[in-house]
């Protein structure tokens, strides 16, 4: 019972005393009947509220399971009251927060629980940073008709919606050194590439000029680019830092670079830093679905307060590491092979 119930109980008790004195003084039967009703009503009110409260149901859903900025996530809350009794004194507590930046702030809304009705509330939320958005129903409270007693129940229901960064243009071009021969083998900091050409495709802005197939382009009257075979171990490797001060920009940069490489049909890797155990796993990215799964893994990692922690840890765990690109904030820095 909450303290807010006390004024109602005191007022009701005074009213019962008033009718009790009236019954004794005037000796009227109708006053006695009213007195009995006043005594019985709180029991009826609390009993009805208890049975209804146990049958309330709250369900969470979302129109889409993944959102890309600047689109905002939408939460749908379905409320069910299968009983014949309406209640206006129902309060629902919930939280909405980015798991990278937990706030712990609770919000409370009053719900009119109409009799024998199921309805859905729509909650649009504005987000300013990418990450895993968590909407959680913490608890629900219901006060009976006479405000004698407030029932409380923990719900512990939640819904997670990943919010991907906004896709923006990026000028990233992997560093490379090529020989002048048209089909000669060349060295890339991501690893040695084969002389075998996997395919020839149309030119995409950002492609390296060294990869242009000039003879075929002249013959076909269109710009064509050679794509070489590359072993998985030699593919580009990106290491995003989950440094708390730059994490939003880091995710933005990683997403922009990744989408650019995917459109160029490049296969690359992302080193995922598991901050709870200080270990790494690698995600091989072929398409947007692979990228989404990599971001989901990142979203469940705890950000840290030490700059360059992922890079220093990676270099200590893998002393014979190959070249990789560290992404921190808006910067993409090449770290040469040891």
**Three-state SS across the chain?**
CCCCHHHHHHHHHHHHHHHHHHHHHHCCHHHHHHHHHHHHHHHHHHHHHHHHHHHCEEEEECCCCCEECCCCCEEEEEEEECCCCCEEEEEEEEEEEECCECCCCCEEEEEEECCCEEEEEEEECCCCCCEEEEEEEEEEEEECCCCCCEEEEEEEEEEEEEEECCCCCCCCCCCCECCCCCCCCCEECCEECCCCEEEEEECCCCCCHHHECHHHHHHHCCCEEEEECCCHHHCEEEEECCEHHHHHHHHHHHHHHHHHHHHCCCCEEEEEEECCCCEEEEEEECCHHHHHHHHHHHHCCCCECCCCHHHHHHHHHCCCCCCEEEEECCEEEEECCC
Domain count, the chain: 2
Are 34 and 112 part of one and the same domain?
yes
How do the pLDDT tens digits run along the chain, 338 residues long? 466 788 888 988 898 898 888 888 888 788 888 889 999 999 999 999 999 999 999 999 999 999 999 999 999 999 999 999 999 889 999 999 999 988 878 899 999 899 999 999 998 888 889 999 999 999 999 999 999 999 999 999 999 999 999 988 888 888 753 333 334 333 343 344 444 566 677 766 556 666 777 777 777 777 877 765 555 555 789 999 999 999 999 999 999 999 999 998 889 999 999 999 999 999 999 999 999 999 999 999 999 999 999 999 999 988 777 889 999 999 999 988 76
**Rounded to two decimals, what is the model's pTM?**
0.75
9 with 95, same domain?
A: yes
Same domain, 136 and 254: no
- Regarding whether 240 and 160 lie in a shared domain, the answer is no
Whether residue 241 is found in the same domain as residue 152: no
Q: For residue 88, count other CB atoms closer than 10 A to its CB.
A: 11
- Cα torsion angle, 75, 163, 273, 193, sign: positive
Structural domain includes residue 199? no
In a domain, 122, yes or no: yes
Does residue 133 belong to any structural domain of this protein?
yes
Domain annotation covers residue 169:
no
Residue 246 in any domain: the answer is: yes
- Is 257 contained in some domain? yes
Are 95 and 2 members of one domain?
yes
Max distance between CA atoms of the chain, in angstroms, equals 117
Residues 72, 146: one domain? Answer: yes
The verdict on residue 170 lying in a domain is: no
Structural domain including 292 reads 187-194+229-335
CATH assignment of the domain containing 106:
2.60.40.10
Verify that 145 and 250 share a domain, yes or no: no
């Amino acid at each position: 019972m909450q303290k807010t119930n006390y004024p109602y109980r005191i007022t009701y008790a005074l009213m019962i005393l008033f009718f009790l004195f009236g019954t004794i003084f005037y000796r009227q039967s109708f006053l006695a009947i009213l007195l009995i009703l006043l005594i019985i009503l709180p029991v009826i009110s609390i009993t009805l509220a208890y049975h209804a409260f146990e049958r309330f149901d709250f369900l969470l859903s979302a129109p889409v399971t993944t959102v890309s900025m600047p689109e905002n996530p939408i939460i749908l809350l379905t409320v069910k009251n299968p009983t014949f009794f309406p209640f206006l004194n129902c309060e629902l507590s919930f939280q909405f927060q980015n798991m990278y930046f937990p706030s712990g702030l609770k919000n409370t809304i009053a719900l009119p629980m109409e009799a024998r009705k199921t309805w859905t509330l729509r909650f649009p939320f504005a987000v300013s940073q990418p990450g895993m958005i968590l909407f959680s129903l913490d608890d629900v409270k219901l006060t009976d008709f006479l405000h004698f007693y407030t029932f409380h129940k923990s719900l512990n229901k939640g819904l997670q919606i990943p919010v991907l960064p906004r896709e923006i243009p990026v000028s990233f071009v992997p560093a490379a050194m090529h020989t002048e021969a048209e089909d000669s083998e060349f060295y890339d900091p991501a690893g040695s590439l084969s002389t075998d050409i996997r395919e020839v495709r149309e030119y995409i802005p950002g492609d390296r000029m060294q990869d242009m197939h000039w003879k075929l382009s002249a013959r076909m009257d269109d710009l064509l680019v050679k794509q070489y075979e590359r072993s998985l171990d030699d593919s580009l490797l990106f290491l995003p830092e989950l440094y708390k001060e730059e994490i939003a920009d880091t995710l933005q940069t990683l997403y922009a670079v990744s989408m650019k490489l995917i459109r160029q049909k490049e296969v690359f890797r992302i080193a995922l830093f598991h901050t709870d155990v200080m270990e790494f796993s690698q995600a091989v990215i072929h398409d947007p679905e692979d990228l989404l799964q990599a971001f989901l893994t990142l979203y469940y990692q705890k950000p840290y307060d030490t700059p360059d922690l992922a890079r220093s840890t990676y270099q200590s765990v893998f002393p014979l590491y190959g070249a990789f690109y560290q992404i921190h904030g808006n910067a993409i820095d090449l770290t040469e092979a040891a």
